[in-house]
Structure 1
Amino acid sequence: MLQISRQKDTMSVADLFLFTTDLNDEDFRTITDLVTDHGITTIKLDLDKVLSEQESLSFRETHISISTLGRFFTGPCIDPKYENILYIDGDVQVVGSIFDLANADIPDGKMLGAIDRHFLKAKEHDKSGEKTREYLKKLGVSHESDYFNAGILAAKRETWINLCKEGFDYFVNHSKDCMFHDQSALNAVCVGRRLPMSPKYNFTTMFAENNFVNTVRPSIIHFTGAEKPWFSKARPWQGRFIASYVELLKQFPQLEAFYSLKQYFHSSGQAGLSRIDRHANRMWLLTRILTPWRVILRRRRLMNYLKTTRFFI
């Protein structure tokens, strides 16, 4: 959010809202005091209260926190004077201008989103590919290019509110089919209502793994997967962004009071995180040693997608 706040053109057409989930009053005030001077407004969501009312929910255990469901409830918290909502996950780095994205005039009833890893996996002839095809079929997604990543999304405010309500209702009724939680639910309810967004504004790890940095020239890098930029030294980024989080803690030492990142920089808490990196690097090498043709096919498929797709933005 600080990276966005320094973009004068973007800030001329947008305001920044930081949503938190289930912080106590003291911690929420700490965050609010830190960001107010940077033009950021904080909004507190009581997610535990909302979810506790839904006894039948199933939430698949992964590296993804249950707080990801919070996006379903953000819309009504935004003043009606705002016409559009641009939603951005926290596991990103904003490395270029997002003015065009923030200023986009998206049609009513449409959601803007970029393709996800399933675009590649659905065409591959292995167990993972078969599982991916079954997953998309359950959601009603007929073509893998229609499935989108939920990390960066944009829509008219009323459209956002309506689709998020539909998405949460879908998740409540089909949570076991929602392998990727809110992302699954949003894909199910947005069939036919999603507009393709360039990976320039949601440059997921999939694109980095296939060497598209220079081709796409991303503005928002999104670290999908368990290898997060504040600790990971795994490929493809190999720790490039860790220093920025160290500097952030130096700038705002108050952050350590309620979510210490020391474990990411000291050996005492490094064991689990190192396992994540080792697994990621191992999979990187195995793909290239055991199935080198897959690397070529994936890159070719992505290149064709970029050349033939008419992106809304």
Structure 2
Amino acid sequence: MSFADTDSDHSIGALMSDCCFCYTTDKYYFLPTLLSAAQARKNISTGKADVLIIGFDFQNNEESMLREVAKNLGVSVQFHDRREIRDLPIYMARHFLDQLLSNTYTNIIHIDGDTQIYASIDPLIQAPLPSGRIFAAPDPMALLFGEPDRLSLKTTAYLHSIGLPSNIAGRYINSGVFRVARSDLKAIDLEIQKQCEKNLPKYFFTEQDAMNVAFGDSISLISMKWNYPAFFEFFEYDFIESEHIKHFMSNPRPWHGPFMPWGKAAHSPYVDMISAHPQLRNYYRPMSKRTVARYIVQQRVKKFMDSRIWKTKSIARKIREFEKHAAV
């Protein structure tokens, strides 16, 4: 599919760079999003990109405080009305960026807030992006595609059920981190909105499914180090270069507690942020003790059960191939 040129008159902030490294969030995810954004600012060279949080569903009396906290961390925050994304779920906000971002941004990277950033983002910002292409990393489902175990068979059947041919299903991407050129953004946004409007009831992974269906053959795969599934820590894939961006894709997440496999190393930054900025405490929703106890047990069982799937030679071979041919 070819992309149309686009322009936007909606400016949301002063420009320092032509690249925007941006997040979309609501109150529930603001604390982890701010932590990730602060880590991004530390790992992006000055002038390479602006770090921006686009927030929805905040009250007027919250906005100035949150802007000030974020400003002290080198992060910009802009607030919008949910009606600007047609009152759709917050996960759809990432596909209204053409309307929300200043038209002076020509290089766009969107990232989920349930991430932590450990190393320089500069290479992802600077890598040449061919016209009409999207940069995104393979999702773990791409690794399961075509494998013989029960989970993989279920995954393979699902990917086929949403209309993905085998060559696209086998490289199914995760939309938690993606980079696009501004000249392609409007066409991407509109097509994904269209796909979701028509097919959302059958999309279990919502807009991510839509992105794969609409643009699977226009996606250039990047290394999984740019969108590293946190549960991979259970299995120690040494052939993935150091994880630059770690993505906590499902509950429990590190702000919930020091669970396996990340432990205190990933949990402590949230505690430290609240300690340094007590006014953020209202944006933290702790789990009940019963839920914490359940997840402690669940994570231990998960490591044992999943090792039979994720530690196979076939999975390792697929990861090596993805990494060998990664665009960046």
TM-score, normalization: structure 2? 0.80
Out of 210, 215, 228, the position equivalent to 2:253 is 228
Taking a change above 3 Å as real, the CA distance of residues 71 and 136 of structure 1, as seen in their structure-2 partners, is same
Q: Which residue of 2 aligns with 1:60?
A: none
Instruction: Verify: 1:256 aligned to 2:256, yes or no.
Output: no
Match of 2:217 in 1: 192
Q: Distance in 2 between matches of 1:108 and 1:47?
A: 31
Kindly indicate whether the alpha-carbon contact (under 8 Å) linking 2:38 and 2:73 is maintained by their aligned counterparts in 1. yes
- Unpaired runs of 5+ residues, structure 1, are 55-65
Cα displacement string for residues 132-185 of structure 1 (whole angstroms, at most 9, x for unaligned residues): 122222242423332101111001013233212211210111012211111111
Confirm or deny that 1:270 pairs with 2:289: yes
**CA deviation after TM superposition for structure 1 residue 214, in Å:** 6.9
The equivalent residue for 1:304 is 320
Q: Does 1:26 align with 2:51?
A: no
Please report how far the alpha carbon of residue 21 of structure 1 lies from its aligned counterpart in structure 2 after TM superposition: 1.9
Partner of 2:49: 14
Work out the CA distance in 2 between the residues paired with 1:19 and 1:8.
19
Per-residue Cα deviation, 1:183-239 (whole angstroms, up to 9, x for no partner): 111111112110011112111135333212574211111111212111243332234
Matched, 1:295 2:311: yes
Percent identity over the alignment is 21
Which residue matches 1:2? 38
Task: Tell me whether 1:133 sits opposite 2:156 in the alignment.
Answer: yes
Distance 2:197 2:112 in 1: 22
State the distance in 2 between where 1:271 and 1:149 align: 31
- How many aligned residue pairs are there? 290
One-letter code aligned to 1:310: H
1:212 matched residue in structure 2: 237
Q: For the structure 1 residues 154 and 50, does the alpha-carbon distance in structure 2 shift closer, same or farther, using more than 3 Å as the test?
A: closer
SS of 1:241's equivalent in the other structure is helix
Q: Which residue of 2 aligns with 1:113?
A: 136
Q: State whether structure 2 residue 183 is matched by structure 1 residue 168.
A: no
Identify which of structures 1 and 2 has the higher relative contact order when contacts are C-alpha pairs closer than 8 Å and 6+ apart. 2
Match of 2:119 in 1: 96
Residues 137, 223 of structure 2: 8 Å contact kept? yes
Partner of 2:104: 81
Cross-structure match for 1:63? none
Q: TM-score, normalised by structure 1?
A: 0.84
Do structure 1's residue 283 and structure 2's residue 302 form an aligned pair? Answer: yes
C-alpha RMSD of matched pairs (Å):
2.3
Q: Which residue of 2 aligns with 1:46?
A: 81
Gaps of 5+ in 2: 1-36
What is the Cα deviation at residue 101 of structure 1?
A: 0.7
**Cα 1:126/1:212, change in 2 over 3 Å:** closer
Q: Structure 1 residues 287 and 131, CA, compared in 2 at 3 Å: closer, same or farther?
A: closer
